[in-house]
Structure 1
């Protein structure tokens, strides 16, 4: 009878299921909850700082974009520029509003004209104490063009625009101590009745510091010459570029270079585009806090390896492979960092919400910031747990049990 040749078979360690990996990886966290909380706190602070910085910046930008959408980006302003000849002043034609209104694509037009007078609370206030308030003649259609709102009283019309009536910008009203329509101010050589106070005008801040009187009243009572100093117009969105190229030639066909055309919404657009540019420093500080948190996690894992040498040696003597020891401690590091990352995301979102509520901003937390912040914590957790895991896997079972 022939004997069978027995060949030795190499034993292979059983594979750990994901459930087993999660169980052994969280064992150290369950046994030392206070250390887990303190270690995760550094990660949480770093992530919360980054989420809050990005969230507050995004909320401010969203508010600007909403304001731009409400105010529109289709308004242009034409003003006298610098003359080619020194000492020669440039004036817009008296019928500038009508000329602009005839341009294809223009939907609304209005104008203001500078009046060489000062407005004061009463005649006893010295003339040179103007408070930085200018006096402007205003056309009836101006308010619609700038999309302004009257907070108190009403706007100039054909009736009150012929008489001593004035509308104050909200800054002018505050400086003059006028709280509501119906009061009077001294303008020129007589009292004018305040018929309205405007709300803030983001696209026309120069009107916030002005006293606006009717066109006809300015000519009758204040010596206004009838020449506008600024023409405001709104066109359809598709024709803004064409209208801009036609404004100067329409107002001054012989010398169009003397007319300056500006887009008031450009400042808000630039501000929205630059929003968050100054948050780089705070993001850097958040990143440093996150790195410090990662160092804390690595330190915690190294101490955990030293304290659990008996557990490591026992598992190795019962057949656990080095790879299983490594995955145990890397999993524990990932769970520790992930816990801190989750807490940081919640804290950052809450901080953004509180700031937005206090400042009246829309609450915006970009998903990329949440995902990026949490993914960063996982990367840091992996790196922080790699060395302790390798060190634990290299422990000799005999020496580990003997040292214990």
Structure 2
């Protein structure tokens, strides 16, 4: 009979208990493997979900911080048509003069840049692409931490004369000229207007589902006069303003000062609502972190159900094992095995099953997480606590699932057990 080795009248050593438990499990390899399956799936799921969630979170944080974590965005208000909101930024409530006032009158603001944005169609030599057209001023590269990798940025003369020059994002360059094509010096058509390409921006990737490389930049004055053609009563209408604080600690102060300044300039007094909306990068990072954290907890809880199912499977198999090995247990006890020795052996078998399942599940989870990170291009992150929790849960499941079967085996009367067939 499996595991019936080196039985003594005294309690066996830990090494002998482990050896007998391993022999018993190995003699029923298929059943042991199926028993471990629930634990494997549960542990692998927890580690995979945790790793992928943390990797995506870190990638998003890196992308946002690459654009500047100490910046905030001010968008113009909401236009309504027939009582229906057209969305934030649809009304012409912000002007370039507002941005200039913020730059000179807000002490906590280190940099300020205004922009005007519209969807557009760009064409070059039979190639065309739908993209986003941004009219920007000279402060944009410093505030948004993005600079040309080819050619040059606009000059003050370009801005003053509303010169028809453009800087392409890398995706637009690739769509119109190919990844190896030279764009600088060429002429493209945007919304029926000719523009000379003077630069190509460095790649920045996507943030929040928005491709930072799928853009064309032109002087704000040109955008306002030739593309949009609508000026506010008090100046040049814009879509929004980016404000850069000296550091993250100054961001809240800058937001407070900007809010008060714009309310005064727009003649807004309580209880009137603001005709603009302010959000900052830190709020975006925190909101995204919370969403990813909640999603990870939810999916991990679902994966935890697999662990519970795996524990139930271990308990069932161990109960069946006790019934099948009743005669073996009777012989052990008849030749001197104590109740604690029998209890320890069956508990050890349950723990070995769960630990083996935990080890395989951990390796599988790490492998899947690594493959996902390599495929979808986000950082590979494996936290020590998730691996430790996996092994801890495996041990706990084995102990809990093995208690009742082991106790039943230890309490068997040796005479009755010997009579069983």
Structure-1-length-normalised TM-score? 0.80
Structure-2 separation of matches of 1:294 and 1:394: 22
Structure-1 separation of matches of 2:230 and 2:60: 37
Which among 64, 68, 74 is matched to residue 70 of structure 2? 74
Asked whether the equivalents of residues 140 and 156 of structure 1 are also in contact (C-alpha less than 8 Å), the reply is yes
- Matching residue of 1:277: 294
| 1:38 corresponds to 2:34 | yes
Which among 371, 379, 386 is matched to residue 369 of structure 1? 386
Asked whether the equivalents of residues 164 and 193 of structure 1 are also in contact (C-alpha less than 8 Å), the reply is yes
Cα displacement (A) at 1:384: 2.2
- Matching residue of 1:145: 143
Greater mean deviation of Cα atoms: 175-184 or 51-60: 175-184
Greater mean deviation of Cα atoms: 153-162 or 294-303: 153-162
- Matching residue of 2:256: 245
Cα displacement (A) at 1:189: 5.9
Asked whether the equivalents of residues 114 and 228 of structure 1 are also in contact (C-alpha less than 8 Å), the reply is no
Distance 1:196 1:301, change over 3 A: same
Which among 227, 230, 242 is matched to residue 236 of structure 2? 227
Helix, strand or coil: the match of 1:186? strand
Helix, strand or coil: the match of 1:194? strand
Distance 1:108 1:323, change over 3 A: same
Structure-2 separation of matches of 1:215 and 1:152: 21
Q: Which sections of structure 1, spanning at least 5 residues, go unmatched?
A: 1-12, 84-88
Structure-2 separation of matches of 1:320 and 1:206: 71
- Matching residue of 2:101: 99
Q: Matched residue pairs, number?
A: 385
Asked whether the equivalents of residues 64 and 207 of structure 2 are also in contact (C-alpha less than 8 Å), the reply is no
Distance 1:111 1:298, change over 3 A: same
Distance 1:212 1:343, change over 3 A: same
Structure-2-length-normalised TM-score? 0.77
Task: Say which one has the larger Rg.
Answer: 1
Structure-1 separation of matches of 2:305 and 2:380: 26
Helix, strand or coil: the match of 2:264? coil
Structure-2 separation of matches of 1:224 and 1:304: 82
Distance 1:97 1:201, change over 3 A: farther
- Matching residue of 1:292: 309
Asked whether the equivalents of residues 322 and 394 of structure 1 are also in contact (C-alpha less than 8 Å), the reply is yes
Structure-1 separation of matches of 2:147 and 2:158: 18
- Matching residue of 2:88: none
Helix, strand or coil: the match of 2:386? helix
Distance 1:206 1:94, change over 3 A: farther
| 1:22 corresponds to 2:15 | no
Q: Give 1 or 2: higher strand fraction.
A: 2
